[in-house]
Amino acid sequence: MYGRLVAVDHVDLDVGEGEVFALLGPNGAGKTTTVGMLTTLLRPTEGTAIVGGYDVVREPDMVRRVIGVVPQEYTADEDLSGWENLMFMASLYGIPRDEARRRAAELLEMVELSRFARVKVESYSGGMRRRLELAMGLINSPRILFLDEPTLGLDVQTRAAIWSYIRRLKDEYGMTILFTTHYMEEADLYATRIAIMDRGRIVKVGTPRELKDSIGGDVVTLNVDSMAAAKEVLRSAGIDAREYDGSLVFKLRDASTALPEILRALMGSGIQVRRMEVSEPTMDEVYLEYTGRRLRDAQASSEEAFALRATLRRARS
């Protein structure tokens, strides 16, 4: 695939209908390669995948009919208007003209680009282009929508806006969505389930809640008058607390309901709790736990790098 480098190594995934599934990982983790194989762009050297009931290796044409793809790059033709781009996509799917017109108008309305339908894409802003890409990916009413880094290079506000469109489209059309991202909070906020990818492998799959729980629950920090006694009480409750910076720190599953119980036990033993703090683990911590690092830059091919730069440049224009 990329010379002798194995970009994706025996990934095993199962995404249910109607899910919003996130592939989370740094650049070069193999997310785009995975999506490439699922969208029939790349042929897996080994193994197979079933998308929408069809085998990507044996029935790629059937897969292509039921999927919509919004790639990382801006793929709209800059020389054409938004409307022309949509009509072009419709013709690639063989959608009859009347139906295509109706659908294009509806989608442009949905992503609030109706006003700019006749304007050349060249003059669209990054956010507008992303919205157009979304509309283009939906022209064939796909059952499964693939979004590869749908908010890459956009500012925080525009990212939020793009997600509100995605959610609205999802509510309206009820499709299954698989997206890739390297933004932790995006996966956390919008995905029903997340697969953490690293170095071509899936290291963990679960709902955001499950993932956070899987690293041992919420992080509780207690400031007590007697450390030793408190530790003893905690140990009898099956909790292994560490002393850290004059406080006791421990992980607790489902802290909001479990903590009062523990406080009662501590106070019952005559220990005074002066200060307490509960923090939910962030996806960042989850990621750290499973991959051993935060973000890692990976080498990309020059072709990818060029496309990425072009995308970023246009996103910022």
Partner 1 sequence: MSSRRYGPLHGIWAVANRELIKWYKVPFIIGISLVQPVLWLALFGKAMNLGNLFTSSSLQIPGLDLPSQVIDELGRDIMLRVFGVTDYFSFLAAGMLSFIVLFMSMNSGMSLIWDRRLGVLNKLLTTPVPRSNLVIGKSVASVIKSLAQASVVLLVAVLLGMRFRAGLSALDFLGTYLALSLLSMGLSSLFLLLALRSTSWESQMMIMNLVNMPLLFTSNSFYPLQMMPWWLRDVAVFNPITYSNEAIRGLLLGVPGVNLYLDFAYLAAFAALFTGLLALMARRMLSR
Q: Which three-class secondary structure state does DSSP give residue 70?
A: strand
Taking the least distance from each CB to partner 1, the nearer of 34 and 311 is: 311
- Residue ranges in 140-169 that form contacts with partner 1 under rule CB under 8 A: 140-141, 143
Q: Count residues contacting partner 1 (CB under 8 A)?
A: 40
- Measured from the CB of residue 197, what is the shortest distance to partner 1 in angstroms? 19
Is residue 252 within 8 A of residue 277, CB to CB? The reply is no
- Residue ranges in 66-105 that form contacts with partner 1 under rule CB under 8 A: 66-67, 69, 71-75, 77, 79-80, 84, 88-89, 91-95
Crossing angle of the two packed helices 126-137 and 156-173, in degrees rounded to 10:
20
Phi first, then psi: give them for residue 242, nearest 5 degrees: -110, 150
Of these, 310, 313, 316, 317, which contacts partner 1 (CB under 8 A)?
310
Q: CA 86: distance to chain centroid?
A: 26
110 to 139: interface string for partner 1, x by CB under 8 A: --------------------------x---
| Extended beta strands in 144-200, E state | 144-148, 176-181, 193-198
- Region of 19-27, 33-41, 171-179, 241-249 interacting with partner 1 (CB under 8 A): 33-41
Is residue 178 within 8 A of residue 31, CB to CB? The reply is no
What share of residues in the chain are helix, strand, coil (percent, to 5)?
45, 20, 35
Beta carbons within 10 angstroms of residue 84's beta carbon: 17
Phi first, then psi: give them for residue 49, nearest 5 degrees: -145, 145
Residue partners of 155: CB distance under 8 A and separation at least 6: none
- Measured from the CB of residue 305, what is the shortest distance to partner 1 in angstroms? 11
Phi first, then psi: give them for residue 177, nearest 5 degrees: -120, 135
Taking the least distance from each CB to partner 1, the nearer of 229 and 312 is: 312
- Residue ranges in 275-304 that form contacts with partner 1 under rule CB under 8 A: 303
Taking the least distance from each CB to partner 1, the nearer of 47 and 96 is: 96
37 to 66: interface string for partner 1, x by CB under 8 A: --xxxxx--------x--------xx-xxx
Taking the least distance from each CB to partner 1, the nearer of 1 and 227 is: 1
Report DSSP letters for 295-308, one per residue: -------HHHHHHH
Pairwise CA distance, residues 130 & 125, whole Å: 9
> Is 175 among the residues that bind partner 1 (CB under 8 A)?
no
- Measured from the CB of residue 130, what is the shortest distance to partner 1 in angstroms? 14
Enter the tokens of residue 219: 């992080």
- Measured from the CB of residue 79, what is the shortest distance to partner 1 in angstroms? 5
The residue ranges that bind partner 1 (CB under 8 A) are 1, 36, 39-43, 52, 61-62, 64-67, 69, 71-75, 77, 79-80, 84, 88-89, 91-95, 136, 140-141, 143, 303, 306-307, 310-311
